[in-house]
Amino acid sequence: MSNQSRQLFGTDGIRGVAGAFPLTAESTYLIGRALGHDLLRGTPKAKAVMGQDTRESSGWIADRVAAGLAAVGVEVHSAGVITTPGVAYLARSRGMAAGVVISASHNPWTDNGIKVFSGDGFKLSDARELAIEKEIFALLDRPGAADDTALRIAGPSLPGEAALRKAYIEALTGSVTSDLSGLRVLLDCANGAATAEAPELFRGLRVQATFMHVKPDGKNINDACGALHPETLGKTVAESGGRFDLGVTFDGDADRALFCDGDGRVVNGDGVLLLTARDLKSQGKLAGDTVVATTMSNMGVEIALKKSGIRMLRANVGDKYVLEEMLKTGATLGGEQSGHVIFRDSDATTGDGLLTALRVMDVVVRSGKSLAELVGDLKVLPQKIQNVRVREKVPFAQVPEIRRAIEAAERELDGNGRVVVRYSGTEALARVMVEAESEEKMRALTAGIAGEIQKALGV
């Protein structure tokens, strides 16, 4: 089932501006009802666990969705503010029919979203999302489907069940075998979901942890901080005078993490894949000596992995598609440049920023090498990503000017670089990515393609 078939669900659940369709008081309640019906079809007496990030709107959206679930007979448990992978873990470890997350991840605070995991901790299939969508639209067409009485049903309010959050923290703690107490780490929690678990987790493991952006106010999530702005973390570490061995920065719902070394140089998901792949291979734990990355991963990481005898496969962008390829090929490691990394040897079913941070720290401790040394041979080809806001997502092949610009760029690169042009799965954006051997060529080709998209489809 392609993304075009679905109107509400994108690559990462339903997302939009909080208060506007499909995230109004009425529609979020009906989404809960439709989801509830779907769960009850497969599991009579279904239970669901809910979690949310720190956005101003997350509380009322969680309450509306929970009211919709409860209205059709689903028992809802709230974990309160918790990371997205925390909800996925609880869904599968607590015998739940689903895990529901209210978050818009890296988007601005004015946006929000509804992300659903099935009882096995995996994101819903495209076909299942489409079936739920059909019911949502059917309910919207039915007068009184969300009457005032229904909308007043109380959802599971904050702070949620502390025992659920604790169970997730304990599972992460139990996955660590090394002594991390010697590490000095700066952690940027993006004023998001990680603020609820990271301090207890890292202090419990006796990491010499310093935290920044851990005071959410409903509007400061991702604001000049977190994985969207890794330079903020890098600058602080660089100016600390050698105070930190490394830095870690999470996005709003902490399903991804980026890093910086002791000098403040950013290490993205490509670097994480490289160092964890080599480590797993050395232990005989890298299934098929294969790593799954995406079309956005730099050619430099592919070359470095190849030197270590590791094959890199590319999936479409979105950790959902990385996971699909991993399950298909049996790969134990996969991820995205943006910091979503999936460790199937830890039985993770989605990217988990906290787990990724622990795994990187573990490799640093066991190898006796700094983060800079572990990625020292990664030669990154100059890469530029340019976003163009679009009116509509017309397939690029159907617009001759855009198609010709892409083909011309590929001819000019002649195998010594890459062009990837795609639409964002969560926003009305076209993303143009060019890798080339020189900065000059990279910028010129990116600007050429982006210009044609702007002329033909731009806002």
> Measured at the alpha carbon of residue 156, what is the angle toward residues 151 and 157, in degrees to the nearest 5?
95
Catalytic residue among 27, 58, 103, 105: 105
Residues 6+ apart with CB under 8 A from 73: 36, 40, 45, 46
Q: Indicate the SS3 state at residue 340.
A: coil
Q: How far apart are CA 82 and CA 45, in angstroms?
A: 25
Q: Which domains does the chain have, with CATH numbers?
A: 3-161 (3.40.120.10), 175-374 (3.40.120.10), 383-457 (3.30.310.50)
Pick from 109, 85, 170, 11: which is nearest to 356 by CA? 85
Q: Confirm whether 118 is a catalytic residue.
A: no
Neighbouring C-beta atoms of residue 261, cutoff 10 Å = 24
CB 168 within 8 A of CB 204: no
Q: Note down pLDDT in tens along the chain; length 459 residues.
A: 344 467 899 878 999 999 999 999 999 999 999 999 999 998 899 999 999 999 999 999 999 999 999 999 999 999 999 999 999 999 999 999 999 999 999 999 999 999 999 999 999 988 999 999 999 999 999 877 766 555 555 555 679 999 999 999 999 999 999 999 999 999 999 999 999 999 999 999 999 999 999 999 999 999 999 999 999 999 999 999 999 999 999 999 999 999 999 999 999 999 999 999 999 999 999 999 999 999 989 999 999 999 999 999 999 988 889 999 999 999 999 999 999 999 999 889 999 999 999 999 999 999 999 999 999 999 999 988 999 999 999 999 999 999 999 999 999 999 889 999 999 987 899 999 999 989 999 999 999 999 999 999 999
Q: How far apart are CA 305 and CA 280, in angstroms?
A: 12
Q: How far apart are CA 421 and CA 58, in angstroms?
A: 32
Q: What is the pLDDT of residue 209?
A: 98
Q: How far apart are CA 402 and CA 279, in angstroms?
A: 42
Residues 6+ apart with CB under 8 A from 416: 436, 437
Q: What is the pLDDT of residue 148?
A: 56
Q: What is the pLDDT of residue 240?
A: 97
Pick from 84, 18, 25: which is nearest to 56 by CA? 18
Q: How far apart are CA 273 and CA 281, in angstroms?
A: 12
Q: What is the pLDDT of residue 350?
A: 94
Strands 341-343 vs 383-389: parallel, antiparallel or unpaired: unpaired
DSSP state letter for 382:
P
